[in-house]
Chain A
Amino acid sequence: MLNPHGLSISDTVKEIESKNLSPVALAESLLDRIDKFDPELKAWVTVDREDVLGAAREREIDQERGIVKPLMGVPVGLKDIFYTAGMRTSACSKIFADFVPDYDATSVRKLKDAGAVIIGKAVTTEFASSDPSPALNPWNLNHTPGGSSSGSSVAVATGMCGAALGSQTGGSTCRPAAYNGIVGLKPTYGRISRHGVVPLSWSLDTVGILVRSVEDSARMLQVLSGHDELDPGSADEHVPDFIEQMASRSSPPVIGLIKDFFFDNSTKEVVDHTESISHKLALAGADIKEVSLPDSFGSSHACQRIVSNVEAASFHREWYRRRADEYGPKIRANIEMGMLVSGIDYLQAQRLRRQLRLDLIKMLDGVDAVLMPTTPTPAPRDLNTTGEAVFQAPWTSSGLPTITIPSGLASNGLPLGVQLAGLPFREGQLLGVARWCERVLDVSLWPDNYN
């Protein structure tokens, strides 16, 4: 008897293609899990059962006709900032409370074209900023699930969908992924179109992928990547075969371990854990070299905050002028601070970001990827915060791709992860290293109460 919620993307597609699994039965099984778990976990804003089953029935017709698609029948959740034609896209805000787009985001269209079944809209922090969402961490309901892609991460961690889209402006994909014990991929800035995604900060926003394995992240990236003229930040870069590139790594990688800043700002438990992971990888044959951060890293957090605040202020300016009281306190403060920054200071921050990108690329010379803890602590026991984005912000700011994989449990039973970063537009290489590490570590986490 198949356990459909535990299947990887490739196994789901394989089982559907071989007619061992019906897309409708799979969708029904996940909808039942949502009915069962979501009253407690609050991961979803909108789930339209009929809509989901209608899409699943279409996939069943494809299945009967023998049509093959890369995400055939795979149930995917969307952070509630992705436009969905005819379905409310609220960004979990009062400002967009009744907004129903009349078109799909480019990424949503690509998912549908690839055969995915959109299972619903997942909870986000308001406008993908820092005011906590109602979603709860399935590993311990008293701890934050992180943010801003909180619902997407919780849904994947508990098998309510096979994959989900999130976004990252500071640390909003990899941080909640680590807090919930799953894989999070933030590709290179510009790799995935943001057309039809509610912006927070145009020059930082990156579509993120939340899944249960590195291979699944490669399969999602393959479908989602590509230039889009409708997104001014979209890169006109060749899209390679990520799955082939990932699979082509058979030899142990050269990994740069970054201790400064990341170890200085982590708890002893996280430092010891990351050291032990590094040791395990070395025992399996990886060449671990300690690498040092460039000087420009020092102002990376300041630049990320200034740019993010100014661009958020620019996007929200008119709504803020008329409806300031309808914003949550944290995003409101960000908008207000953005209003104070001069054009000169904003541009200096952007110049520093460019410098950081060049310096980090130089730092990666001679290694296949760099390794660090994903978060300074496991998910904090505090529902008034979404945790710390400081270990992601420099990578988002520089636009380099990162991936987090689960690496074990902390003494309090919450998940820990390690983060890998690589060169821009070399996600295939990064995924190869990540999958090699995933196989060596052999860690797969399910929260007990939601198995």
Chain B
Amino acid sequence: MTTSNTGDSQKQIYENLISIAQLHWSHEAIEKMLPQIIQTASNLDQIMRDIPESDIEP
């Protein structure tokens, strides 16, 4: 996966997380959470890129 693709997918995840956050909290509260949301998006992006091809179960 190219760097720009990685950046795109992380941005997409970040936007999804923000959408979910808006269901829970106010705009002001979400503003304060942004560093953690960025970190979570990065973690999820890493997981998405490493999903095993095997049929391994959880």
Contacts and interface: CB of A to CB of B under 8 A. Distances in A.
Chain B binds chain A: yes
Interface of A: 295-296, 298-299, 301-303, 305-306, 309, 333, 336-337, 339-341, 345, 347-355, 358
A339 B24 contact: yes
Interface of B: 17, 20-21, 24-25, 33, 36-37, 39-40, 42-44, 46-52, 54, 56-58
Given A340-B20, A340-B40, A351-B52, A303 B47 contact: yes
B48 A298 contact: no
Contact of A348 (B17, B20, B37, B48): B48
Contacts of A303: 43, 47
Contact of A351 (B39, B42, B57): B57
Contacts of B57: 351, 354
B36 A299 contact: no
A298 B49 CA distance: 10
Given A351-B58, A354-B57, A299 B46 contact: yes
A302 B49 CA distance: 11
Contacts of A295: 50
A302 B17 contact: no
A352 B20 CA distance: 24
A295 B10 CA distance: 20
Contacts of B43: 301-303, 305-306
B3 to A, nearest CB: 16
Contacts of A355: 52, 54, 56
Contacts of A340: 17, 20-21, 37, 40
A309 to B, nearest CB: 8
B33 A299 contact: no
8 contacts: A301-B43, A333-B33, A337-B36, A340-B17, A340-B21, A351-B57, A354-B56, A358-B56
Q: What 3 pairs across the A-B complex have the smallest Cβ distances?
A: A350-B58, A302-B43, A299-B50
Main secondary structure of the interface of A (DSSP, over half): helix
A305 B51 CA distance: 16
Contacts of A336: 24-25, 33, 36
Given A333-B33, A341-B40, A355-B56, 4 more contacts: A340-B21, A347-B58, A350-B58, A351-B51
A394 to B, nearest CB: 13
B34 to A, nearest CB: 11
Nearest to A357: B56
A306 B56 contact: no
B37 A337 contact: yes
Contacts of B47: 299, 302-303, 306, 345, 348-349, 352
Nearest to B43: A302
A398 to B, nearest CB: 13
User: Which of B25, B47, B56 has the most chain A CB within a 10 Å cutoff?
Assistant: B47
Nearest to A334: B36
A296 B51 CA distance: 9
Nearest to A309: B40
B47 to A, nearest CB: 5
A333 B29 CA distance: 11
B39 to A, nearest CB: 8
Contacts of B48: 345, 348
Nearest to A338: B40
A168 to B, nearest CB: 20
A355 B50 CA distance: 10
Nearest to B19: A340
A397 to B, nearest CB: 12
A345 B44 contact: yes
B40 A337 contact: yes
Contacts of A341: 40, 44
Contacts of A348: 47-48, 51
Contacts of A352: 47, 50-52
A309 B36 CA distance: 11
A299 B49 CA distance: 9
A157 to B, nearest CB: 32
A325 B31 CA distance: 17
A306 B51 contact: no
Contacts of A333: 33, 36
